[in-house]
C-alpha cells in the first residue's frame, strides 16, 4: 500500500491558531490581526509582547503594569549566575540560553502548574530573565564583570546596557526594537511546533521553551541570521559580491537568509527591517554590508527567483550594532519567547497529543537468534 507522505509536513495544516497569520489580502504577517510593520511603526516591543501573550494591545495602565512586572523579574538567582559562570566560555550562547531556561524550570515553584494563569506568570519570568542570562554570558566570556539589569530601562535598552554597559542612541534602540517585534511570532515554524509538540504531552513551559531554543539554533531556522553574517564576512567587499554569489549558486549552495517555507515571493518583514538596516548603516557610517546585501539579493532574485527572509537584514544590522555574530540567534530567542509562550498556552487550552504516523521502510519481520548463534 502506498502512503502519501508529506515530507517536512509541507503544506499540511495540523491545527488552528489565533496568534498569527500571513494574511494574503494585505500580503503581510499579522499578530492577533495587526500587521507586523504597523506594530513596528506605532508600538514599542513591550506593547507587542503584551499583545502576543494576552491577545490585545494594552491600555496605558495595562502596559505600565506589564512593564513593571517584566522589570521586576529581570534579576537571576545566585545559583543560576553561578551556573552561567561555570559554563565553558567557548559554548555557543544558544546552548547557554537553552541551559538557562532549563535551570529556571528547576527553580520555578510553579513548574508543574499548567493552568493559564500560572503559565502566563512563568512565561513572564522566562521572558524577563533570559536576556539577563545571555548578557551575563556575553560579559563573562569577554573577561568582563556581569552588569545587573536596571529597572529604568526598556526591554531593548536594558539588553544593550547589560551587554555593553551603555545604551546607544534612540535610532539604534528603535532599530533593535523593530527587529524584536519582527522576530516575535510566526505561527507553526519549526521551533514553535517543537514547543507545541512538547506541550501536547502535557509537559511544562520551561521544557517546551528549552526544546524550542534547541530547534531555533539550526541554520535552516533562526541560526540563519548568523550564517548571513559569516557569508558577508567571507565576501568582505562589495566588489567581490557578484562573483562570490554566482560561484555559490553554480556550486548549488544553499544561500542563508533566502527562501521561506511560507512566503514564496518575499517575506513581508524584510522591507521594514531593510529600512532600519539602512538607518543603522548610515549612523555607523559603514555602507559596506548594505552594498553587499543589495548585490547578493539582486543575483538571488535574478538567477533563482528566491527572495530574502528576515534573517538577511537582521544579521548585518546586529553586526553594525556591535553584537558578536553568535549572539544574533540568541537575540531572536529573547523576542520569540513571547510567541512560543502564547503557543504553549494555546496548545494547553485545546490540547490533543501530537503523534503522527510514519510509513515503515525497515526490515521485514525476523526472528531473534540468541547471541552465540549470531
Ligand atoms: N538558497 C539556494 N536555493 C534555495 C534556497 C536558498 N536559500 N532556498 C530554497 N532554495 C531552493 C531549493 O534548493 C529548492 O530547489 P530544488 O527544487 O531545485 O531542489 C527550492 O528552492 C525549494 O526549496 P526548499 O528547500 O524545498 O523549500 P523549503 O520550504 O523546504 O525550505 C528553507 C525553506 C527556509 C529551509 C530554505 O529556503 C532554506 O534552506 N533557506 C536558507 C536558510 C534560511 O535562510 N532559513 C531562515 C528561514 S526564515 C526565518 C527563520 O525561520 O529564521
The full DSSP string for 183-232 is HS--SS-HHHHHHHHHHHTT--HHHHHHHHHHHHTSTTTTTHHHHHHHHH
Q: Which one is catalytic: 221, 242, 324, 326?
A: 221
pTM: 0.96
**pLDDT at 83 exceeding the cut of 80:** yes
Closest atom, ligand 1, to C-alpha of 223? 52
- Report the phi/psi class of residue 147: left, alpha or beta, with left for phi > 0 and alpha for psi in -120 to 50: beta
Q: Grid coordinates 521544557 are at which residue?
A: 207
What's the burial of 132, exposed, middle or buried (CB within 10 Å: 0-12/13-18/19+)? Answer: buried
**pLDDT at 337 exceeding the cut of 70:** yes
Closest C-alpha to ligand 1, atom 34: 260
What pLDDT score was predicted for residue 338? 98
Closest atom, ligand 1, to C-alpha of 8? 30
- For domain 224-321, the CATH superfamily is Cytochrome P450-Terp, domain 2 (1.10.230.10)
Distance 318 CA to ligand 1 centre (A): 23
Distance 257 CA to ligand 1 centre (A): 9
The full set of domain ranges for the chain reads 18-217+333-349, 224-321
Query: What is the CB < 6 Å shell around ligand 1?
Result: 8, 189, 220-222, 224, 254-261, 304, 306, 309-311
Closest atom, ligand 1, to C-alpha of 267? 48
CATH class of 18-217+333-349: mainly alpha
Q: Which one is catalytic: 108, 177, 204, 311?
A: 311
Closest C-alpha to ligand 1, atom 8: 259
Closest C-alpha to ligand 1, atom 29: 261
What does the mean pLDDT of the chain come to?
97
221 tagged catalytic: yes
What pLDDT score was predicted for residue 264? 78
Strands (E), the chain: 20-23, 28-31, 34-35
**pLDDT at 2 exceeding the cut of 90:** no
Best of 187, 221, 252, 259 for a ligand 1 pocket test (most atoms within 8 Å of beta carbon): 259
The answer to whether the Cα torsion of 248, 252, 254, 258 is positive or negative is positive
When comparing pLDDT for 42 and 27, which is higher? 42
Closest C-alpha to ligand 1, atom 28: 261
Q: Is residue 108 classed as helix, strand or coil in its secondary structure?
A: coil
pLDDT in tens, 97-141: 999 999 999 999 999 999 999 999 999 999 999 999 999 999 999
Please report, rounded to a whole number, the percentage of residues in the chain having pLDDT higher than 70.
100
pLDDT in tens, 259-277: 999 987 899 999 999 999 9
Closest C-alpha to ligand 1, atom 32: 260
Amino acid at each position: 500500500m502506498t502512503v502519501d507522505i508529506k515530507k517536512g509536513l509541507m503544506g499540511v495544516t495540523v491545527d488552528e491558531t489565533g496568534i498569527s497569520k500571513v494574511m494574503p489580502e494585505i500580503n503581510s504577517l499579522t499578530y492577533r490581526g495587526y500587521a507586523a510593520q504597523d506594530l513596528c511603526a506605532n508600538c514599542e516591543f513591550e506593547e507587542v509582547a503584551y499583545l502576543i501573550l494576552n491577545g490585545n494591545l494594552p491600555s496605558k495602565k495595562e502596559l505600565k503594569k506589564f512593564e513593571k512586572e517584566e522589570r521586576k523579574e529581570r534579576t537571576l538567582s545566585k545559583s543560576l549566575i553561578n551556573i552561567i559562570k561555570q559554563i565553558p566560555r567557548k559554548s555557543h550562547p544558544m546552548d547557554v540560553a537553552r541551559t538557562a531556561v532549563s535551570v529556571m524550570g528547576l527553580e520555578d515553584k510553579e513548574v508543574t502548574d499548567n493552568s493559564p494563569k500560572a503559565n502566563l506568570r512563568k512565561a513572564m519570568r522566562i521572558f524577563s530573565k533570559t536576556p539577563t542570562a545571555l548578557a551575563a554570558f556575553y560579559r563573562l566570556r569577554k573577561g568582563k564583570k556581569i552588569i545587573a539589569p536596571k529597572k529604568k530601562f526598556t526591554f531593548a535598552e536594558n539588553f544593550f546596557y547589560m551587554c555593553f554597559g551603555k545604551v546607544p542612541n534612540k535610532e539604534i534602540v528603535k532599530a533593535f526594537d523593530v527587529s524584536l517585534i519582527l522576530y516575535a511570532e510566526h505561527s507553526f515554524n519549526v521551533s514553535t511546533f517543537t514547543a507545541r509538540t512538547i506541550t501536547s504531552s502535557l509537559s511544562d513551559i520551561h521544557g517546551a521553551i528549552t526544546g524550542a531554543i534547541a530547534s531555533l539554533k539550526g541554520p535552516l531556522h533562526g541560526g540563519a541570521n548568523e550564517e548571513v553574517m559569516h557569508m558577508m564576512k567571507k565576501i568582505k567587499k562589495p566588489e567581490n559580491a557578484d562573483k562570490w554569489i554566482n560561484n555559490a549558486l553554480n556550486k548549488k549552495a544553499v544561500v542563508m537568509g533566502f527562501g521561506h517555507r511560507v512566503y514564496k515571493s518575499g517575506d513581508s518583514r524584510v522591507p521594514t527591517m531593510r529600512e532600519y538596516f539602512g538607518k543603522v548603516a548610515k549612523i555607523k557610517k559603514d555602507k559596506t554590508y548594505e552594498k553587499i546585501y543589495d548585490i547578493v539579493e539582486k543575483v538571488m532574485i535574478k538567477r533563482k527567483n528566491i527572495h530574502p527572509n528576515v534573517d538577511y537584514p537582521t544579521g548585518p544590522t546586529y553586526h553594525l550594532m556591535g553584537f558578536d555574530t553568535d549572539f544574533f540567534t540568541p537575540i531572536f530567542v529573547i523576542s520569540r519567547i513571547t510567541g512560543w509562550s502564547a503557543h504553549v498556552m494555546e496548545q494547553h487550552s485545546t490540547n490533543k497529543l501530537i503523534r503522527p504516523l510514519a510509513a515503515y521502510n525497515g526490515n521485514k519481520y525476523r526472528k531473534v537468534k540468541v547471541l552465540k548463534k549470531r
